[in-house]
Amino acid sequence: MSENLNSAKEILADASALIIELESDISKFFLSKPYKTMVEHNAKTNADIHKVKLTQEIPGQFRSKARHIASDIRSSLDHVGYAAALAQGKTNPRKTYFPFAKANTEESNVRKVNCKDIPEEIFDIFWEFKPYIGGDDVLWALNEIANCNKHRSVVPVGHGLGGQHMMKNFKCDGLCHEMAFPPRWDTTKNEAILCIVDSSANTTYDIRLSFDICFGDITVIKGYPVINTLHYLHQKANEIILASEIKGKQLGFFA
């Protein structure tokens, strides 16, 4: 009995549409300029701290949408294993999960437990893509993204805070205690210190800002741009589905 991979492809197409939607949402959020430059006075040191700070929390839908996209991509891969199991004659197969593992050494255990209903030839195709830590770390992290409900799973980052590319025409007629090039973005406080100068100094500059949304407290991919990572995972899933389809057709599993 042969099956097809239409459901897997349809789910992956849904994920693609959501990635485009999320990318648009993020762009609109930052175009609204949810940030400001500010000066904080330190009375103990008699210094002024010039910083840029986000004034709005990133919408919670960004986190939920990223999880939804990752879940769709993961589901598309699970559907391949399920279709292959049905084609091999399995009745109501339950262990047809894509083989995420923490290490290459877990192959035998994963094959026997979560993937025991998947034909060996299709499992081998899956494993060739190295969905484990130390192999393709980003592919392994797909399962982590889909399962992560942490508040800081995705965080805003001032990725364009590039020193002189960001601050131009800097003038200070007093002592400048600190000026990092580029400024370090603090993801906990959602801010970056531009410079620290004597309070009596006259300080002026022009500033150009740019931001992105990156993964936060998720193993392996912390600090990775969300959209670029999701695009990579979508492309990787597409490659896995196509490779599985070619092999499955050779074996008579897929029409």
- Unique residue bearing structure tokens 């349809």: 10
pLDDT in tens, 47-66: 999 999 999 988 999 999 99
- Confidence check: pLDDT of 158 > 80: no
Into how many domains does the chain fold? 1
Mean pLDDT of 187-191: 88
Indicate the residue type of 125.
I
pLDDT at position 185 is: 84
Residue 169 domain flag = yes
Residues in the chain: 255
Residue 122 domain flag = yes
The dihedral over CA atoms of 233, 5, 86, 118, expressed in degrees to the nearest 10, equals -30
Cα Rg for the chain, rounded, in angstroms? 24
CB 104 within 8 A of CB 135: yes
Residue 205 domain flag = yes
Residue 71 domain flag = yes
Residue 1 domain flag = no
pLDDT in tens, 37-46: 999 999 999 9
Among residues 30, 26, 22, the alpha carbon closest in space to that of 54 is found at 30
Instruction: Using pLDDT thresholds of 50, 70 and 90, give the confidence band for residue 251.
Output: very high
pLDDT in tens, 130-146: 999 999 999 999 999 99
Instruction: Using pLDDT thresholds of 50, 70 and 90, give the confidence band for residue 161.
Output: low
- The three-state secondary structure class of 93 is coil
Cβ count within 10 A of residue 87: 20
**pTM for the predicted model, two decimal places:** 0.89
Residue 89 domain flag = yes
pLDDT in tens, 99-127: 999 999 999 999 999 999 999 999 999 99
- Confidence check: pLDDT of 193 > 80: yes
* Distances from the Cα of 242 to the Cα of 2, 196, 246, angstroms: 16, 55, 6
Percent of the chain with pLDDT over 70: 96
The range of the structural domain enclosing residue 57 comes to 6-251
CB 183 within 8 A of CB 194: yes
Residue 99 domain flag = yes
pLDDT in tens, 12-26: 999 999 999 999 999
Among residues 229, 173, 172, the alpha carbon closest in space to that of 26 is found at 229
Residue 160 domain flag = yes
